[in-house]
Amino acid sequence: MLALVGSGEYLPPMELVVRELIRLLQAPVRVVCLPTAAGAEGAERIDYWSRLGVDHFTRLGVQKVDALPVVDRASANDPSLAAVIASANFVYLSGGKPDYLYKTLDGSLTWKAIQSVLENGGLLAGCSAGAMVLGEKFFGLPRWKPGFNFLPGVTIIPHFDEIPEYLLKPIRLVTGQGLILIGVDGNTALVQTEQQFQVLGKGGVTVWEKSGKNRYAHGARPQWG
């Protein structure tokens, strides 16, 4: 199970969405928050995302929630941290820099632990940068970068409702690269359970293919390809 979040991780507007995600899991819910995407931004930002995540899930009644300092390659390959992740059933990747996030996790013990969570029926949520790296590719200057390819042929654009109109046409050109663009608004998630998708949240999800563009609101089930 995946949740691609446009923005708003750990904030009150996302509480209803996260409650729905929690309902998808077998009890007891065990959450791990990873501030990895902000790992190059300094201790203050890492601590900010960590505290925000723990407070958010605690407020929602989750009794087991850890924010782990997986912030570089060394910590991503720390067996003790990977073991905690593997014991969870809900992993949350918060925002920051997608290129740094991908390079830090790719092939690491942390990533193997995340994969085991998914294989055991758990859920992986990624917000902003955390969502971008879950597609086949994401755009990071000066070129396209590989993602973890949970959604083959797809590139994920978070904060889609914040993008000015004049930038939409250049963004549209990505579909000329053979990619389907999925734009996720703030305070909104595109949730995958098995092979089905559903929009949850206050905004919408835009699916932009060569054949055209479709927008889906809360409760809708987008399809593409």
Predicted confidence (pLDDT) per residue in 14-28, tens digit: 999 999 999 999 889
pTM: 0.94
Read off the pLDDT of each residue in 61-74 and give the average, rounded to a whole number: 97
Domains within the chain, CATH numbers bracketed: 2-217 (3.40.50.880)
Beta strands in the chain (DSSP E): 2-5, 30-34, 64-67, 90-93, 123-127, 137-140, 143-146, 154-157, 180-184, 188-193, 196-201, 204-209, 212-217
Read off the pLDDT of each residue in 107-111 and give the average, rounded to a whole number: 98
Alpha carbon separation from 136 to 65, 120, 133, 159 (Å, rounded): 29, 23, 8, 18
